[in-house]
Each structure stands twice: as C-alpha cells, then as structure tokens.
C-alpha cells in the first residue's frame, strides 16, 4: 500500500510547494517610506573612498527608494544627476584637498511610483527592489537593493555596496523597515512580524501530508481491501491507537503530578 501511495504523496508535496511559491507579493500603496528615510526625509548618501595615487577618488551614491532625488540648487547642474533620478553615482577626484567631479552616473531614473519587487527565495524571504531607467553612455543600467529584515535594528542604517557588474549595481540594506507585515497587522509601515515562517510552512506541509496519507489510505482500504469498519480502515490504525494511548497516559501522569495525586510507592 505504501508503495502505491508514495507517488501520490510526492505529487501532493510538489503541488503544496508550488502553491506556496506562487503566493503573490503585494506592494501596498500605504507603505510608510518615513521608516527608511533618514534625516528628515533627505536623500540617503553612501560614500566610498579609493586611493588612486597621487589622488583620492570618492564615489558618492545618492539613494531615495520612495521618490526622485532632490536637486541641490547650490551645485552646478552638470555635477549632479538630472531631475527624475532615483539613484545617482557621482565620482569625484581629490588632489591637494581640491575636488573635481569626473563622472555623473544616473543609475535609475524615470516616472514610476514603486520599483519591481521580488523575493530572493521561498524560505529566506529577503525583498529585492529593482530600479531601472538609468543610462551611462547609452548603456542601460539597473540597481538591485536587497532589503534584509533586521528586527533588532533600532536605528536606520545605510545600504552597503556589494558590487557593480555587467551594468548592474547591487546593494544590501538591513533594517527593521524591511520586515514584512500581514495586511491585518495594520500600520502602513515596516517593522513588526511577517507572515508564516519557514518552520511554520514546514509543519503545515507535514500536517497536510499526514491528512492526505490517512484519506488516501482509508480510501484504498475501503475500495480494495473491503475494510468498512471505522477506525480499522485508517491505515496503520494499530500504530495510531498505541500512540494515542501513550499520549493519554503521559497527559494523565503529568496531571496527577501537578494536582498532587501522584503517590510514589
């Protein structure tokens, strides 16, 4: 019997996993960007410095995942990205403490309200925000920001650069605002607990497999082996019965100990 039901159980497992993976990601319009914007809703600035003797080269990345970057009227427009840019890189070369902007890179720009959102995997659940629309010397650019949930973070951190490869800038950003919330959890912001965890999904799948095993086994015993009495028609009922008796005895023993009725002879 087990050999006949095993393929069906494997098929049910595959269907369950595919159903979980097919759960759509919903980006709510009410998401509170104030949870991840620093210094009073100013653009986030990440600077990396590299020694390039006899000079020093700084790469400044300006980021705003909620709206286009704010233009600085005090800076020459040729030394900053054009209007409508969400993520911009500015390369500045310093020699004798005198800086000169050598390159301006609009990595992501355009008129869009929210970036494309995907998950890194079924179990990890890290949210990846993808920005496009940028162009450098006619070559399209893309930015991937991996939002890592960190419930212990008490302050807003800045993203960390990972790499720039094949016209794709990759960054990681750990903060509490990256943690998901269920729709009925209220609040339009980040932080708080997310949906079912990986362990919860695992135990749910195991439970559903046990139920499926009992149903399929009972149907097999009824239709093929002509077992019509319940609960004998349940597959491996003797094993289940012994398990129930053992659990009942354990509960009774614990109850007697807690209630003071237990007497050691």
- Indicate the domain borders of the chain: 2-16+198-259, 31-185
| Range among 10-19, 190-199, 215-224, 253-262 rated most confident | 215-224
Task: For residue 220, give every residue at least 6 positions away whose Cβ sits within 8 Å of its Cβ, in sequence order, or none.
Answer: 1, 4, 5, 235
pLDDT in tens, 110-144: 876 556 766 665 555 677 888 888 888 889 999 98
User: pTM score, two decimals?
Assistant: 0.55
Name the one residue in this structure whose structure tokens are 């269920």: 182
Give mean pLDDT, residues 209-221: 83
Cβ-count burial 120-134 (b if 16+ within 10 Å, e if not): eeeeebbbbbebbbb
**How many residues can be counted in the chain?**
265
Q: Residue written as tokens 């393929």?
A: 7
Quickly state the pLDDT bin for 54 (edges 50, 70, 90): very high
Least confidently predicted of 24-33, 54-63, 238-247: 24-33
The CATH number, out of the four listed (2.70.130.10, 1.10.760.10, 2.170.150.70, 2.40.50.100), of the domain defined by the range 31-185:
2.70.130.10
Q: Residue 257 above 50 pLDDT?
A: yes
Specify the residue for token string 């800038």. Answer: 169
């Amino acid at each position: 019997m087990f050999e006949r039901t095993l393929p069906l159980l494997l098929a049910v497992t595959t269907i369950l996993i595919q159903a979980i993976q097919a759960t759509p990601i919903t980006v709510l319009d009410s998401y509170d960007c104030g949870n991840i914007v620093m210094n009073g809703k100013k653009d986030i600035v990440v600077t990396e410095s590299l020694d390039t003797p006899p000079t020093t080269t700084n790469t400044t990345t300006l980021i705003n995942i909620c709206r286009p970057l704010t233009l600085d009227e005090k800076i020459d427009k040729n030394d900053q990205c054009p209007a409508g840019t969400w993520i911009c890189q500015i390369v500045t070369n310093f020699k004798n403490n005198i800086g000169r902007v050598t390159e301006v890179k609009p990595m992501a720009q355009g008129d869009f309200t929210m970036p494309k959102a995907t998950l890194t995997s079924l179990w990890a659940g890290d949210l990846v925000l993808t920005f496009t629309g940028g162009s450098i010397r006619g070559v399209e650019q893309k930015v991937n920001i991996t939002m890592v949930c960190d419930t212990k973070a008490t302050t807003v951190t800045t993203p960390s650069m990972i790499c720039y490869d094949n016209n794709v800038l990759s960054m990681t950003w750990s903060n509490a605002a990256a943690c998901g919330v269920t729709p009925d959890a209220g609040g339009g912001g980040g932080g708080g607990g997310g949906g079912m965890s990986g362990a919860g999904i695992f135990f749910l799948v195991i439970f559903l497999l046990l139920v499926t095993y009992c149903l399929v086994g009972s149907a097999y015993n009824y239709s093929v082996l002509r077992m019509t009495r319940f609960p004998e028609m349940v597959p491996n009922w003797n094993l289940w019965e012994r398990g129930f008796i053992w659990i009942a005895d354990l509960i009774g023993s614990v109850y007697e100990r807690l209630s003071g009725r237990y007497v050691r002879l």
